Amino acid sequence: MKSSEVLQDVRYEIRGQLANHALELEKRGYEIISLNIGNPGLFGFRTPETMRLAMIENLGEAEPYCHQKGIFPAREAVVMQQQDRGVEGVTADEVFIGNGVSELIDLSLRALLNPGDEVLVPSPDYPLWSAAVALNGGTAQHYRCDEKNGFLPDIDHMSSLINARTKAIVVINPNNPSGAVYDRETLADIVRLAEKNGLVVMSDEIYDQMIYDEAEFIPMATLATDVICLTFSGLSKIYRACGYRVGWVVFSGDLEQARDYIHGMELLSALRLCSNVPGQWAVQTALGGHQSIEQLVTPGGRLYQSRQAVIERAAASKFLNLERPMGAMYAFLRLDERFNGVLDDQAFALDLLENHHVLVAPGSSFNTPYTDHFRITTLPDPDTISVVFDRIDACLTQHC
């Protein structure tokens, strides 16, 4: 029995063959440093205690199904956060809680796309976006985010991809995998394109408060007031609660035009009954309380220091280049030009895993046309990062 043909266009190498091979090596007794996934809990980052207590104290309320959109306190907390950020006209009716952002990406695309429709997706991208477009009958058209321009979107290239079948533009800001944080002018240019062509803007902002140095995060919904805008976020990254599987999507902007779309989302949400209820009780506490992420991303904080260690080791390596990540929890490293035609990202990642026991994600996994990048998470402590770069340099020395 063969799997569905639609899966031929679906890729998710972050948990693909290399990750499976790493598990096999671990079963044989090898200790693997796994840097392929941004999973804070595996690196000692705990969910804030207040969130755990809020969930525990409400377990008795979490046994029945809840409303298909989610419990009201969680949705209202999301509304309050949006209002604090300057987003107007949003109520709890425009908020959907899901089993992580991943489920909501799938539902929002399924409610929007007809077979053959196209969605503009960044390159590099978080591959779930391209996969979800394909799974829902659409085609992902990848717009360039050039490293020479700080991985910012190429607006002219984006514009050239728009045609009668284009339905939406996906924006990932702060970006995974590059760590780029988009400036106001870039976001405004994207909004103007959406307005001109009647496109939905889908803004993945799961790393919204994970920014460094002089970077400024600008919510897309504050600019996209005359188009349909969907903002995605959740508890997994900023609040280090990946396993709670709680995400949300907020509809804003031209809500009158979005009514039928929202109804489609309501139907799909009802078909899956509801999302995980216990974790939803942590949302109000998370969004309304002390934002502990601020201490982690400023000088002296664990995330800041680990990111700094990656930047310094990349700068010291004669084999690697790095555009300084300004947000999120990743570094998208480029192999030196001397390896062009000699060593691509897949071969490098396999060698690094088998012979040096470090697992990374090849850059082409993120739907790039080039094969000389790889992504690591910056979550490990600086000492572990030093060990990782020693092993990377040893691996590349052998190929030099």
Domains in the chain: boundaries? 5-46+295-399, 55-288
Q: Which fold has domain 55-288?
A: Aspartate Aminotransferase; domain 2 (3.40.640)
Average pLDDT over residues 31-51: 94
Give the DSSP letter of residue 45.
P
Q: Which residues contact 280 (CB under 8 A, 6 or more apart)?
A: 62, 66, 70, 71, 74, 97, 246
Q: Which residues pair with 287 in a beta bridge?
A: none
Instruction: Tell me: pLDDT of 21 over 90.
Output: yes
Give the DSSP letter of residue 211.
B
Report residue 142's pLDDT band, with 50, 70 and 90 as the boundaries: very high
**Any idea what the Cα angle at residue 325 is, between residues 323 and 328, rounded to 5°?**
150
Quick one: pLDDT at residue 198? 97
Instruction: Tell me: pLDDT of 308 over 90.
Output: yes
Quick one: pLDDT at residue 20? 92
Q: Express as a percent the part of the chain with pLDDT over 90.
A: 94
pLDDT tens digits, one per residue of 235-275: 999 999 999 999 999 999 999 999 999 999 999 999 999 99
Instruction: Tell me: pLDDT of 194 over 80.
Output: yes
- Burial tier of 259 (Cβ tally within 10 Å: 0-12, 13-18, 19+): exposed
Quick one: pLDDT at residue 295? 95
Instruction: Tell me: pLDDT of 112 over 90.
Output: yes
Looking at domain 5-46+295-399, its CATH architecture is Alpha-Beta Complex (3.90)
Closest CA relative to residue 283, chosen from 222, 236, 327: 236
Instruction: Tell me: pLDDT of 325 over 90.
Output: yes
Cis peptide before 73 (omega within 30 of 0): no
257, 199 contact by CB (below 8 A): no
Q: How far is CA 396 from CA 35, 147, 348, in A?
A: 18, 22, 8
Instruction: Tell me: pLDDT of 290 over 90.
Output: no
Give the DSSP letter of residue 319.
S
pTM as predicted: 0.95
Mean pLDDT of the chain: 95
Helix ranges (DSSP H) in the chain: 17-27, 49-57, 72-84, 100-112, 127-135, 155-160, 184-197, 259-271, 283-288, 293-296, 302-316, 345-356, 382-399
- Burial tier of 349 (Cβ tally within 10 Å: 0-12, 13-18, 19+): buried
**Given the DSSP bridges, would you call strands 33-34 and 152-153 parallel, antiparallel or unpaired?**
unpaired
Report residue 5's pLDDT band, with 50, 70 and 90 as the boundaries: confident
How far is residue 393's CA from residue 189's CA, in Å, rounded to a whole number? 40
Report residue 6's pLDDT band, with 50, 70 and 90 as the boundaries: confident
Quick one: pLDDT at residue 92? 97
Taking the CB of residue 163, how many other CB atoms lie within 10 A of it? 9
Quick one: pLDDT at residue 376? 97
pLDDT tens digits, one per residue of 374-386: 999 999 999 999 9
Give the DSSP letter of residue 327.
B
Quick one: pLDDT at residue 101? 97
Instruction: Tell me: pLDDT of 341 over 90.
Output: no
Q: Express as a percent the part of the chain with pLDDT over 70.
A: 100
Closest CA relative to residue 400, chosen from 330, 335, 323, 331: 335
Report residue 12's pLDDT band, with 50, 70 and 90 as the boundaries: confident
Quick one: pLDDT at residue 136? 95
